[in-house]
Amino acid sequence: MGKMDGKVALITGGARGQGRAHAIRLAEEGADIIITDIAEQIDGVHYPLADDADLAETTKLVEEVGRRCLSFKADARDAKRMQEVTDQAVAELGRLDTVVINHGIGLPHGTDRDSVDIWDTVIATNLSAVWRTVVATIPHLKAHGDGGSIIVTGSAASLVAIFNNAAYTAAKHGLIGLVKCLAADLAQDWIRVNAILPTNVNTKLFVNDYNLKRFAPAKANPTIDDMKFAAQSLNLQPIPWIEPEDVAHSVLFLASDEAKYITGIALPVDAGMTTQPPGITPHMGARIGELEYLLGQK
């Protein structure tokens, strides 16, 4: 018997990466799955976003587990579209028990005037679109009277500052306040609301050509090993990043009845990133690692 038998889970940003891992893990435990994804490029994003083929692949992988999977191309920033696809999917699958709000983008920026558009794009995607997803799904979580679980993907940046990432950091900090308010507002309906705060994850949001150069600026042709060396200094545990499946295990826990009395929390899955020793920030750690590399001390 699976931990999610008889339940239906909706996952935004489900076409690949963490969203795909969550869909497969919940399906393995018996859930039918609804996935949404913009599945197209957003102006200004410097790495490739998911596409229709990714969406189809996740659907296939869930179905291979033996569960139903409905997939929709939907921009979470579009409240009307999110309501339409949620209503359509629940009408077909019969209920909604779990919502995993996983979509997000990363756009580093400075404080120059050109950063205004980046700020607007990141806040719209990483914060406002979370609220739009909540509004679209809450009526269905309430409808059957059995309660439910909303899991929001925050970040280590929900707790600490990330250098040259003001919009991302502000959005992820904002999610903590949203989660706490929703947990209070929905407790009487037995709907639990929690956040997952991963460190850097091995997805295209983080492991991409742009960040390869950013993490090894002294290298003319940086390699993935160069990036790993610098990225590892962000975490207390000696790893550069975690895998999407590592996050999915925690998502399953919060979605399941094992967490039935857990609500309003922010759960770091961060390899110690937010527990850096006093005086050592993640950015400083990266620069120390880079300096040691350049000096040939490692």
Lowest mean pLDDT across 61-65, 83-87, 278-282 = 278-282
Output the CA angle 237-243-245, nearest 5 degrees: 120
pLDDT reported for residue 216: 84
Segment 117-130 shows an average pLDDT of 98
- For residue 142, being part of any structural domain is answered with yes
Percent of residues, the chain, with pLDDT higher than 90: 78
At residue 9 the predicted structure's pLDDT band, cuts being 50, 70 and 90, is very high
Range scoring the smallest mean pLDDT among 9-23, 96-110, 282-296? 282-296
Q: Does a structural domain hold residue 118?
A: yes
- The yes-or-no verdict on residue 291 having pLDDT over 70 is no
Let me know if 261 is a catalytic residue.
no
Q: What is the CATH number of the domain that holds 112?
A: 3.40.50.720
Tell me the mean pLDDT in the region 216-240.
Answer: 89
Mean pLDDT for the stretch of residues 47-67? 98
Residue 81 domain-assigned (yes or no): yes
Query: 36-64 burial by CB neighbour count: b if 16+ within 10 A, else e?
Result: bbbbeeeeebebebbbeebbebbbebbee
Contacts 24+ apart (CB under 8 A), 275-280: 275/236, 276/160, 276/236
What percent of the chain lies above the pLDDT cut of 70? 93
- For residue 298, what pLDDT band results from cuts at 50, 70 and 90? very low
Single-letter residue type at 220: A
Cβ-proximal residues to 124 (8 Å cutoff; 6+ apart), any chain: 77
Catalytic residue (one of 47, 168, 210, 293):
168
Query: In this predicted structure, what is the pLDDT of residue 221?
Result: 87
Domain that holds residue 14: 8-205+241-271
Residue 295 domain flag: no
Mean pLDDT lowest among 67-81, 219-233, 273-287: 273-287
Q: Tell me how far apart the terminal alpha carbons of the chain are, to the nearest angstrom.
A: 49
Per-residue model confidence (pLDDT) at position 278: 52
Q: What is the rounded CA–CA span in Å between residue 244 and residue 285?
A: 23
**Structural contact between residues 230 and 289, judged by C-beta atoms closer than 8 angstroms:** yes
Confidence of residue 243 (pLDDT cuts 50, 70, 90): very high
Distance CA 105, CA 123 (A): 10
Classified as helix, coil or strand, 114 is: coil
- Determine, yes or no, domain membership for 276: no
Model pLDDT, residue 114: 84
Is there a domain that residue 281 lies in? Answer: no
* Residue 214 pLDDT grade (very low, low, confident, very high; cuts 50, 70, 90): confident
Q: What is the distance, to the nearest Å, from the Cα of residue 71 to the centroid of all Cα atoms in its chain?
A: 18
Domain count, the chain: 1
**DSSP classification of residue 242:** B
Supply the pLDDT for residue 41: 97
User: Quick one: 180 exposed, middle or buried, by C-beta within 10 A (0-12, 13-18, 19+)?
Assistant: middle
Mean pLDDT of the region 285-295: 48
Residue 296 pLDDT grade (very low, low, confident, very high; cuts 50, 70, 90): very low
In a domain, 154, yes or no: yes
Helix H or strand E segment including 149: strand 148-153
Residue range 246-272: mean pLDDT, rounded: 98
Threshold 0.85, pTM exceeds: yes
In this prediction, residue 75 carries a pLDDT of: 98
Radius of gyration, alpha carbons of the chain: 19
Q: Per-residue pLDDT for 101 more than 90?
A: yes
Contact 15, 50 (CB under 8 A): yes
Q: Under 8 Å CB-to-CB from 162, ≥6 apart: which residues?
A: 156, 168, 169, 282, 283
Q: What is the pLDDT of residue 217?
A: 85
Task: Indicate the range of 91-95, 199-203, 211-215 predicted with least confidence.
Answer: 211-215
Inform me whether the pLDDT recorded for 287 exceeds 60: no
Q: Which pLDDT band, with edges at 50, 70 and 90, does 156 fall under?
A: very high
